[in-house]
Amino acid sequence: MTTSEPRSFGLIIVGDEILSGKRLDKHMPKVIELLAARGLSLSWAQYVGDEPARITAALRHAFESGDVVFSTGGIGATPDDHTRQCAAAALGLPLELHPQAEALIRERMQDTAREQGVPYEPDRADNVHRLNMGVFPQGARLILNPYNKIPGFSVADVHFVPGFPVMAWPMIEQVLDQQYAHLFAASTVREKSVIVFGAMEATLTPLMQAIEARFAGIKVFSLPSVDHPQYGRHIELGVKGDPERLDEAYTSLLQGLHSFDARLGPELVR
């Protein structure tokens, strides 16, 4: 694997069921995990209910951002599924039945009929309606679905998958491995930090700013805690980013901490 210019990754999670609490979101932790396994990270995430105007606005931002974005949910063919239509609206493109998607959906319907021991009736109203799941913005590319063959789709660097984790997660992995392998970091060790006792964030801020100014591609983070079960009141202070500059930046951070009246605890590597 080779490194390339950094790209930001985003996630849009669509569905009233998430915002109402009927279902807990499992996508964001899993996407973070899938990205981290490839030396990548999630830059932003957004939850959107089943409101076409809000979905369209979120997708318009995604297309304009230049980021790699995954959108989960709302690509079915029930009345509360709006993502396909909103993607077309955000792009200003017409919707059309994708020929390969049609073939895959028909194949799935034939499989289902065979499993149920009934004849496949392609012109039956419900089967004709199911073809709407293959209606995508003009020019969309397919994301194959290994679970039930009903595909997702991509336009530019925005990728649309179902809301069901059993389908969405392997489809996201497929997109990452097939389209973005050149972005994978050479090492998954991208973060180093130290537990700092007896210091205030405001006092440490000039050091943090100096490290970021000196080392391009490195971010300094500060995570204060007042009631940690192991460390009690402390600050986890660290650096993350470009693996090639990480060690040097971390060494400089430790050297800078020596000038403060603070006690250092364990060092953490992720």
Residues 167 and 143 in one domain: yes
Residues 195 and 177 in one domain: no
Residues 101 and 15 in one domain: yes
Q: Give residue 223's domain range.
A: 191-269
How far is the C-alpha of 65 from the C-alpha of 63, rounded, in Å? 6
What is the model's pLDDT at position 92?
97
Task: List, for residues 13-27, the tens digit of each pLDDT value.
Answer: 999 999 999 999 999
Q: Considering the domain boundaries, does residue 4 fall inside one?
A: no
How far is the C-alpha of 210 from the C-alpha of 9, rounded, in Å? 27
Cβ pair 157, 62 in contact under 8 A = no
Q: Considering the domain boundaries, does residue 13 fall inside one?
A: yes
How far is the C-alpha of 166 from the C-alpha of 152, rounded, in Å? 13
In the numeric block, the tokens 């230049």 are attached to 66
Q: Considering the domain boundaries, does residue 2 fall inside one?
A: no
Cβ pair 39, 184 in contact under 8 A = yes
CATH number at residue 227: 3.30.70.2860
Residues 221 and 153 in one domain: no
What is the model's pLDDT at position 5?
59
What is the model's pLDDT at position 3?
43
What is the model's pLDDT at position 87?
97
Residues 101 and 154 in one domain: yes
Residues 248 and 166 in one domain: no
What is the model's pLDDT at position 189?
53
Q: Considering the domain boundaries, does residue 3 fall inside one?
A: no
Q: What is the pTM of this model?
A: 0.81
Contacts of 63 (CB under 8 A, 6+ apart): 90, 91, 155, 156, 158
Task: List, for residues 98-131, the tens digit of each pLDDT value.
Answer: 999 999 999 999 999 999 999 999 899 999 999 9
Spans of the chain below 50 pLDDT: 1-4
Cβ count within 10 A of residue 227: 7
Q: Last residue of a domain, which of 141, 156, 183?
A: 183
Residues 128 and 43 in one domain: yes
What is the model's pLDDT at position 1?
36
Q: Last residue of a domain, which of 183, 199, 231?
A: 183
Residues 171 and 262 in one domain: no
Cβ count within 10 A of residue 135: 20
Residues 195 and 169 in one domain: no
What is the model's pLDDT at position 241?
82
Q: Considering the domain boundaries, does residue 60 fall inside one?
A: yes
In the numeric block, the tokens 């289902």 are attached to 112
Give the residue among 20, 16, 40 at the shortest CA–CA distance from 180.
40
Residues 147 and 249 in one domain: no
Q: Last residue of a domain, which of 183, 202, 223?
A: 183
| Residue type for position 243 | P
Q: Considering the domain boundaries, does residue 1 fall inside one?
A: no
Tell me how many domains the chain contains.
Answer: 2
CATH number at residue 138: 3.40.980.10
